[in-house]
Structure 1
Amino acid sequence: MLPSSFSIIVVLLFSIPSLSSSSSSSSSSELDILLQSKLLLSDPTNSLSDWDPVVNPNFCNWTGVSCSPTNTITSLSLSSLSLSGPFPHPLCLLPSLSSLSLSFNSLNSSLPSSSLLPCTSLSILDLSQNLFVGPLPSSLSSLPSLTYLDLSANNFSGPIPPSFSLFPNLQVLSLVANLITGPLPSFLSNVSTLRQLNLSYNPFSPSPIPPSFSTLSHLQTLWLSGCSLVGHIPDSLGLLSNLQDLDFSTNNLTGSIPTSLSNLSSVVQIELYSNKLSGPIPQGFGKLSSLRRIDFSMNELSGSLPDDLFDAPLIESVLVYDNQLTGEIPRGVAAARSLTDLRLFDNRLSGSLPSDFGRSSPLVLVDLSDNRLSGAIPSGICDGGALEELLLLDNLFNGSLPEGLGRCRTLTRLRLANNEISGEVPGPLWGLPHVWLIELSGNSFSGVISPSISGAANLSKLVISGNRFDGNIPPEIGALSVLYEFSAANNRLTGNLPASLSNLAELGKLDLRNNSLSGELPKGLRSWQKLSELNLANNALTGPIPPELGDLPVLNYLDLSSNALTGYIPVQLQNLKLNKFNFSNNKLSGPLPPLFAGIAYRNSFMGNPGLCPDMPGLCASRQGRTLNRHGLIWLLRSMFMLAAGILILGVVWFYCKYRNFDSSSNLIVDKPKWALTSFHKLGFSEYEIFSCLDEDNVIGSGASGKVYKAVLSNGEVVAIKKLWGASKLASDVDDGFNAEVATLGKIRHKNIVKLWCCCTYEDCKLLVYEYMPNGSLGDLLHSTKGGMLDWPTRYKIILDAAEGLSYLHHDCVPSIVHRDVKSNNILLDAEFGAKVADFGVAKAVEMSGKTPKSMSVIAGSCGYIAPEYAYTLRVNEKSDVYSFGVVILELVTGKPPVDPEFGEKDLVKWVCSTLEQKGVDNVIDPKLDSCFKEEILKVLSVGILCASSLPINRPSMRRVVTMLLEVSPLSKPKVSKDGKMSPYYYEDASSDQESVVRS
């Protein structure tokens, strides 16, 4: 038998005459057309291997081919076959082809109008989820039979052509997630046959919703999310009596919600979230017999909730969080028999919940946090048997917890922090089998932690601080194999720390301060390999400090102060990289480990008399303290007596304070010669900054200079970057300093590191930043501490950094391109919040048309530089997007951007080749919990998209933020009953419910 490829060539050689005339005639056989189309496509997975007339002569049996009874091809479905190449235009010569689907492939050419003109019989054309570029083909409206057109999730650009108003029979038009610009066209209202109009997630220019859309009487879906819409919602849209899905979310719409929307008699869901809508929610939605979902969240709505809001018989989800609503929750909420999802958090609601709330409803998620609600938690809130999340934090709820919560075995998250709830926690609640978060802090709970807690096999966070719990910590707590945080500070706990605590191998935070715990610290603490914070302050603990604490690789916060600990300070503690530690007010004795025997650590050892003889100059004697007290009295008297000389006294004080300033810093403390520029209100002077430039305070050093940690007199901690002087490349220093000041001095964002001020003197330049306790992402991720970055933490870091870059690209005028996005330039605060830093090579990019600005030299770091930047020196925001994609791949794989393991490849190429050859399990960091695999895969797909070799295929950072928000385990891709899906992910979802990440 001849090889497959050879047989195709033989067939084509004998059919050259007919193929040569195929562009102008349909006389070619359908077999020839299929073979010619196959030659145009790249088929890396051999999905079309059976398209071989020698092996399989009957083409009606070939993959994706459907024929009529007369063996004429009527349909081609070639979806998800990993095909690439141009659009196979010969397929349009198939005379009876009515349906063509090439979706979920990698077709990557433009789509010339001429290539589609012969498709006169085509009724369904689905080219979604490919890589097509260029303008939308204007000839599509010339196809007389076309009823379904889906071009979603490509890279089509430019405006929607006016010819799109001429479709004679089109029912579905879907252009979601492209690069379409221009205003939202009103001429689409001329396509009177439309049933679905899906234009979401395109960078349209700001434009209003055309009121003429109300003439589309057959319309069932109007999906305009993320279309830069402005202005009011037209009242006339209430005339769309067949409309089932109305989605205007994530725009800039203003004004009130039209009362006319309550006339949409067929509507199933109305989504207006993330706009700037104001005023009250109108009455009338309760009469809509098909309504299942309302989402008006993240607006500026005011007034009270309508009395009839929950009267709609099928209502399942009511989401009106993050507004300014007042008044009480309507009593009718208790009678909503289909209600599963109620989210009204971040409002100003008051009053109590109906006592029978939950008894008639299959509640799954209830979030009423951040309101002013009071009264008792309804006793039957879990009677529906489906409740998974109950979040009522930051309210005024009182009374005791209902016993029924102890039987709520479906519960996964219980957050009741900062209320006025009292009494004992029902015993069975401690041991619910699926719960992973119990947060009861800031209440008045009493009683003991029940031994039944051993049944909570999935409990990851137990936060019960600020209550009145008493008794012992039960030894059964050691059975919680996935417990990450145990915070029980400010209670009345007594007894010894159970030895079983050492069994908690996943423990990351243990906070038991301000209790009455006694006895010694448990043995076997080496198992706490993920512990980063240990706070046992203000208890009655005795015995020595266990030396094995020094073996904990990621411990950076240690507070054992105000106990009765004895013995030596273990020298092993020098192994720790502690951001904060405190051993004060104990009974410790003996010499200090050499690393701690410095003036900077004095306050960490105060109140340990046995340490004083071995710390000359650090622990003052009683006589010294008396003399200091007399000196202070003298100073105060002198100040009152010499009120007129306060200015002189201040100068003397400054002189005394800084007379021993380290001359090695080459700083001349001459106030008139120093230039200080502040960008925020400062609580310190430049002279206090200079005194901290000591080698003992160095926390980092790089190509541009050294970074010092400075603890100021007001308790504030800052980071000081001292740029290299004239001995280094002075021009580079000046450029970096000027870029940093020009950039950070004028921008404010929670995910951009804050620049407090800058100081200059001759060739010495200082930049003073907010201090980030957890250092850089790169240092943490690629060190022995990488294990402390679990997936939720990594996801938070990715999202924070993306929002920071999105601000630079989209909200700054002109936009700012960072040019050196990398994991070492993403800094982490105490809560692992991420902030973008180091703007020494950043540029404000003025765009002229679409031509990116050219830079004189390459800026960036090896492994992060976009391919086109390296050889063209053309820089725009897409260069940062590529670098950010590399950072995402770092966080997913745990690997650096370049590594000997990759050979001649970088991380991007290694990920792509490993995915193809070995599968995804060989890419994901093995330290990550497999329970998050679904979310990790989604983030991985975002990273690969960002790191595309073609700039046009990379999304904008604003779009990256949107994609990442939809990845959250609490935020599923949005799918409606008609199959509408978020354009960013290929997998379908079974629920159309959407959640919001809440910390």
Structure 2
Amino acid sequence: MQSDSHFYLNPLLFFLLLLLSPLNLCLNQEGIYLQRAKFGFDDPNGVLSGWNPRDETPCNWYGVVCDPTASVITLDLSSSNISGPFPSIVCRIKNLSFVSLYDNFINSTLPDDLATCHSLEHLDLAQNYLTGALPTKLADLPNLKYLDLTGNNFSGSIPESFGTFQKLEVLSLVENLMEGTIPSFLGNVSTLKQLNLSYNPFSPGRIPPELGNLTNLQVLWLTETNLVGEIPDSLGRLSRLIDLDLAYNSLTGSIPGSITELTSAVQLELYNNSFTGELPSAGWAKMTSLRRLDASMNQLTGVIPAELCSLPLESLNLYQNQFRGELPVEIADSPNLYELRLFENQVSGELPQNLGKISPLRWIDVSNNGFSGRIPENLCFKGMLEELLMIKNSFSGGIPSTLASCTSLQRVRLRNNKFSGEVPAGFWSLQRVSLLELASNSFSGGIAKSIAGASNLSQLVLSENNFSGTIPQEIGLLENLMVFSGYHNNFSGSLPSSIVNLGQLVKFDVHDNGLSGKIPNGIHSWEKLNELNLANNDFSGAIPDEIGSLALLNYLDLSGNQFYGNIPIGLQNLKLNRLNLSNNRLTGDIPPLYAEEMYKDSFFGNPGLCGDIAGLCNGSGGIKNIGYVWLLRSIFILSGLLLIVGLVWFSSKYRKFKEAERSVDRSKWTIMSFHKLVFGEDEILDALDEDNVIGSGSSGKVYKVVLSNGEAVAVKKLWGHSKLQNDGEDVEKGSLKSDGFDAEVETLGKIRHKNIVKLWCCCTNRECKLLVYEYMPNGSLHDLLHSTKSGLLDWPKRFKIVLDSAEGISYLHHDCVPPIVHRDVKSNNILLDSEFGARVADFGVAKVVEASGKVVQSMSVIAGSCGYIAPEYAHTLRVNEKSDIYSFGVVILELVTGKLPVDPEFGEKDLVKWVCFTLDQKGIDHIIDPKLDSCFKDEICKVLNIGLHCTSPLPINRPSMRRVVKMLQEISPGNQPTTAGKEGKLTPYYYEDASDQGSVA
């Protein structure tokens, strides 16, 4: 209370000082108003320190502009880092016509007395923290022409008074929290030239036909505003419209012919709706101004109109539709065409042979169509082509020699076509190419020595062709090469010794060739190698001991060769998901770690190998050559071991019997299944012993149970009482004896999603409760990320985990009816399958969102884990989807930094505060996990930015999980934007095929 009094007394003191000091009598009245405005701001950077009250006028002050009579007409404090409420005192400045406080921290609500700014023509309050409803009296400003409130937290419906603006030309409410539907009364503001309502959570509604009355409108952006229904024909009356964006909605029906009446249109963005039918064939010829059209990600059919392709287009995006027929040859006559994306349609025929001859083509993607014929010779005629993507078509012939001199090329993907002939020598040496994919064609010849010039090459994919000859020594000069895939070819000779210089190599796959010789010495330099496949060649010699030092290797296939000698004992150091050494000439003992039945298929076809695996070391194996003395000695040893094992077995069985006798009567178990089961409760119960425990937490123990069919499941046995932990792991989970079990069953029993862990069934009796899940072989993200195995998680895998987890949580928030709040999102509860696909798990504290609103009832205790709990949740105990989003943001920061959410290294800070502080003081390089390759820095920074967005202190500023998923998809590693984005808008990216997701491209 005392501080409030102080705040209101200070202006009075200020005026007393002005009256008493003769030095201040010179400042005019407008300067006094501005001084009072300054007093209401927090100005940490001191940008207003030069506002000197001893000046006669404020005309030389920062951000202030006066007219010739020394009257203030402009106040521009954009990007000044100031905070505080809007200074309505400035409305007393009689001639003030321009106010911009863009990109600051202006907060609170916007006062109604702003309507007293009678001279105001331009008001820009974008990118601030304003909240509450839009002031109804804004429309009373008689001269207002420009109103930009983008990027705030305004909520409620657009006031009806907004249909009465007298002179308004620009209205922008992008990225707020506007509710209701887009109102029809906006069609009354006949002076409007720009209307931008994009990225607001409006209720589902149609485009008001009344917007067709805005005949002066030039820009109409309604991106992601929950639009449904058809585009009204009335929009065809907007004869001056140059930019129409209706993307990311649920619009249906066909694209009306009236759209082609927009003769002034420069850009039409209609992508990601549910449009059906054909593009209107008539009328395009009238749209002589159209430069950019994006109608992608719809359900459009028919042919691509020739009239459309006759326009002077710059960008044409029709991908992911159902277009058929041929691409009109007129497209080649577009003098400014830089982007052509038609992937995932049914377009056939040949590409126009003059395509690129007069167009500055940069990006062309016609993947997944039925195109045939040869690659046009002139695609790079202007020397600007960066991406050439032609996956899964029927193109034939060779690569044109003209492309061998296309030095601008960066990504080439020609997989799954009918190309043939030799690759031009110059094509191998293109310096800027990072991805060269020629797989699944009929190319012949060898890899030219000129490949030494491809200094930026990171992926070389040549598999399933007819390449021959040796792999040249020059391959070792490609210091950025991460993937070499050359399987199913006719390569011969030895591997070049220089290949050990490829220190960035992640995957090397040359199986099914005619390669021979030994594995070169020095492969210990392949520190990042994840997959090595040399199967079905003619390699010989001993398997190098160095392989055992490749810490990240998890796929090793040397089968079908002539390797001899012992298996290196060092292979036991590896964490292999696949091992295959079969059909060689290996001898000696199998290393103990692999002398298990599960590895039986890994060693067949090596008669000299011996190990305790059925089918090996018998018959022709090696026993017939073993001496009787050794045999007798083995019998005695085995007898002793059997006696010991028998005693241990008896003791274990007796202990289990006593435990079962004390706790459980199996005849009283009840099983509730949620999927078709191939096992019974006996098979589960028999395996619940300490040897099978793989985890223990606040809610119970988790067992790995291998079923009789060889598959595995995970079984959670809940504690019989709530277990409190004060060590910072789980703060409190409530009564897990009943509530946790019921919540988990209630939630997972009805969920079907690829990124939510699958609950097979639950088993209960009066004393015990079991939950049976699918088994995740790579465990939890927390255990993998914060252990010595963290090197397994390169950036593509981490990005895949982020995206998978986001899709799972988005499903809970947006697709479940009613929505579900997880309440304990953390890296421990993100499980990883064998391919590092992520599943969200542990729903013991999940809650259903009430039908009446987004907020879940207040909880009696905090559910969650230290470092992941949203600030408002910790203080109010009120949870909604925004609490999960904060926790997910912390998981993102974990993956980017490799650090724990709470760590003594941070002092009193948590990970979120540490990241913000370090980013500000030291920069991004001190944030990113040093284990991550710097070539992914751009994508990592973008994902980090999403994480910071998710962990905003104000819940209202956190994006929805659906929005998070879209943002992640748009920055997917290896993908480029389809269009140059406009300010405040997101630009879509494309997964060219499933293999591109998470790739190192």
Please tell me the TM-score bracket, short chain as reference. Answer: 0.7 to 0.9
CA apart distance, 1:161? 0.5
Alignment deviations for residues 109-133 of structure 1 (CA, whole Å, 9 cap, x no partner): 111212x022111110000001111
- Conserved? CA contact 1:286–1:310, under 8 Å: no
When residues 178 and 10 of structure 1 are mapped into structure 2, their CA distance, relative to the original with a 3 A threshold, is: closer
Q: Which amino acid aligns with 1:77?
A: D
Q: Following superposition of structure 1 onto structure 2, how do residues 919-934 of structure 1 map, counting pairs within 5 Å?
A: 919-930=923-934, 932-934=936-938
- Conserved? CA contact 1:971–1:997, under 8 Å: no
SS at match of 1:797: helix
Structure 1 equivalent of residue 15 of structure 2: 15
When residues 698 and 959 of structure 1 are mapped into structure 2, their CA distance, relative to the original with a 3 A threshold, is: same
- Conserved? CA contact 1:513–1:537, under 8 Å: yes
When residues 185 and 623 of structure 1 are mapped into structure 2, their CA distance, relative to the original with a 3 A threshold, is: same
CA apart distance, 1:688? 6.5
Q: Which amino acid aligns with 2:44?
A: P
Q: Following superposition of structure 1 onto structure 2, how do residues 29-40 of structure 1 map, counting pairs within 5 Å?
A: 29-40=29-40
SS at match of 2:484: strand
When residues 154 and 938 of structure 1 are mapped into structure 2, their CA distance, relative to the original with a 3 A threshold, is: farther
Structure 1 equivalent of residue 435 of structure 2: 437
Q: 1:619 aligns with which of 616, 621, 642?
A: 616
When residues 947 and 562 of structure 1 are mapped into structure 2, their CA distance, relative to the original with a 3 A threshold, is: same
CA apart distance, 1:170? 0.3
Alignment deviations for residues 591-619 of structure 1 (CA, whole Å, 9 cap, x no partner): 2333223333323223322222x436562
Q: Following superposition of structure 1 onto structure 2, how do residues 321-470 of structure 1 map, counting pairs within 5 Å?
A: 321-470=319-468
Q: Following superposition of structure 1 onto structure 2, how do residues 847-862 of structure 1 map, counting pairs within 5 Å?
A: 847-849=851-853, 851-862=855-866
Structure 2 equivalent of residue 981 of structure 1: 983
Structure 1 equivalent of residue 867 of structure 2: 863
Q: Which amino acid aligns with 1:440?
A: L
> Aligned partners of 2:450, 2:686: CA distance in 1, in Å?
55
> Aligned partners of 2:581, 2:708: CA distance in 1, in Å?
21
CA apart distance, 1:785? 4.2
Q: Which moved more, 1:901-910 or 1:570-579?
A: 570-579
> Aligned partners of 1:751, 1:244: CA distance in 2, in Å?
42
Structure 1 equivalent of residue 77 of structure 2: 78
Q: Which amino acid aligns with 2:612?
A: M
The reply on whether 1:564 has 2:562 as its aligned counterpart is yes
Q: Which moved more, 1:356-365 or 1:72-81?
A: 356-365
Structure 1 equivalent of residue 272 of structure 2: 274
SS at match of 1:959: helix
TM-score by length of 1: 0.88
When residues 394 and 205 of structure 1 are mapped into structure 2, their CA distance, relative to the original with a 3 A threshold, is: same
SS at match of 1:742: helix
Q: 1:901 aligns with which of 905, 911, 925?
A: 905
Q: Which amino acid aligns with 2:395?
A: F
CA apart distance, 1:462? 1.3
- Gaps of at least 5 residues in structure 2 are 1-8, 21-26, 623-649, 724-733, 997-1001
Alignment deviations for residues 742-797 of structure 1 (CA, whole Å, 9 cap, x no partner): 32332223333334444556656554544545443333333344445444544443
SS at match of 2:467: strand
> Aligned partners of 2:597, 2:209: CA distance in 1, in Å?
72
Structure 1 equivalent of residue 879 of structure 2: 875
> Aligned partners of 2:268, 2:126: CA distance in 1, in Å?
25
Q: Which amino acid aligns with 1:107?
A: I
The reply on whether 1:911 has 2:915 as its aligned counterpart is yes
When residues 921 and 78 of structure 1 are mapped into structure 2, their CA distance, relative to the original with a 3 A threshold, is: farther
- Conserved? CA contact 1:707–1:719, under 8 Å: no
Q: 1:816 aligns with which of 820, 840, 848?
A: 820
CA apart distance, 1:674? 5.7
The reply on whether 1:957 has 2:955 as its aligned counterpart is no
Q: Which amino acid aligns with 2:616?
A: C
When residues 454 and 681 of structure 1 are mapped into structure 2, their CA distance, relative to the original with a 3 A threshold, is: farther
> Aligned partners of 2:925, 2:685: CA distance in 1, in Å?
51
CA apart distance, 1:852? 2.7
Structure 2 equivalent of residue 884 of structure 1: 888
- Conserved? CA contact 1:935–1:967, under 8 Å: yes
> Aligned partners of 1:338, 1:266: CA distance in 2, in Å?
17
> Aligned partners of 2:687, 2:450: CA distance in 1, in Å?
52
Structure 2 equivalent of residue 740 of structure 1: 744
> Aligned partners of 2:326, 2:655: CA distance in 1, in Å?
67
- Conserved? CA contact 1:589–1:610, under 8 Å: yes
Q: Which amino acid aligns with 1:521?
A: I
> Aligned partners of 1:690, 1:388: CA distance in 2, in Å?
60
Q: Following superposition of structure 1 onto structure 2, how do residues 61-460 of structure 1 map, counting pairs within 5 Å?
A: 61-114=60-113, 116-283=114-281, 284-313=283-312, 315-460=313-458
CA apart distance, 1:832? 4.0
The reply on whether 1:996 has 2:976 as its aligned counterpart is no
> Aligned partners of 2:928, 2:42: CA distance in 1, in Å?
28
Q: In angstroms, what is the RMSD of aligned CA positions?
A: 3.2
CA apart distance, 1:454? 1.5
Q: Which moved more, 1:927-936 or 1:538-547?
A: 927-936
Q: Which moved more, 1:800-809 or 1:171-180?
A: 800-809
Q: Which amino acid aligns with 2:483?
A: E
Q: Which amino acid aligns with 2:51?
A: W
CA apart distance, 1:143? 0.8
> Aligned partners of 2:936, 2:122: CA distance in 1, in Å?
37
Q: Which moved more, 1:897-906 or 1:519-528?
A: 519-528
Alignment deviations for residues 870-914 of structure 1 (CA, whole Å, 9 cap, x no partner): 233211101101101111222232322111110011011112222
Structure 2 equivalent of residue 645 of structure 1: none
- Conserved? CA contact 1:152–1:983, under 8 Å: no
- Conserved? CA contact 1:153–1:983, under 8 Å: no
Q: Which amino acid aligns with 2:131?
A: V
What percent of counterpart residues are identical? 58
Q: Which amino acid aligns with 2:278?
A: P
> Aligned partners of 2:372, 2:978: CA distance in 1, in Å?
34
Q: Which amino acid aligns with 2:292?
A: R
- Conserved? CA contact 2:854–2:880, under 8 Å: no
CA apart distance, 1:741? 3.1
When residues 72 and 789 of structure 1 are mapped into structure 2, their CA distance, relative to the original with a 3 A threshold, is: farther
CA apart distance, 1:719? 4.1
Structure 1 equivalent of residue 717 of structure 2: 723
When residues 334 and 670 of structure 1 are mapped into structure 2, their CA distance, relative to the original with a 3 A threshold, is: farther
Q: Which amino acid aligns with 1:887?
A: V
Q: 1:594 aligns with which of 592, 595, 603?
A: 592
Q: Which amino acid aligns with 2:121?
A: S
Q: 2:512 aligns with which of 507, 510, 514?
A: 514
> Aligned partners of 2:11, 2:702: CA distance in 1, in Å?
71
Structure 2 equivalent of residue 607 of structure 1: 605
- Conserved? CA contact 1:497–1:518, under 8 Å: yes
Q: How many residues align?
A: 938
Q: Which moved more, 1:832-841 or 1:399-408?
A: 832-841
- Conserved? CA contact 1:720–1:766, under 8 Å: no
- Conserved? CA contact 2:364–2:389, under 8 Å: yes
- Conserved? CA contact 2:597–2:613, under 8 Å: no
Structure 1 equivalent of residue 755 of structure 2: 751
When residues 473 and 738 of structure 1 are mapped into structure 2, their CA distance, relative to the original with a 3 A threshold, is: farther
- Conserved? CA contact 2:971–2:989, under 8 Å: no
When residues 171 and 968 of structure 1 are mapped into structure 2, their CA distance, relative to the original with a 3 A threshold, is: farther
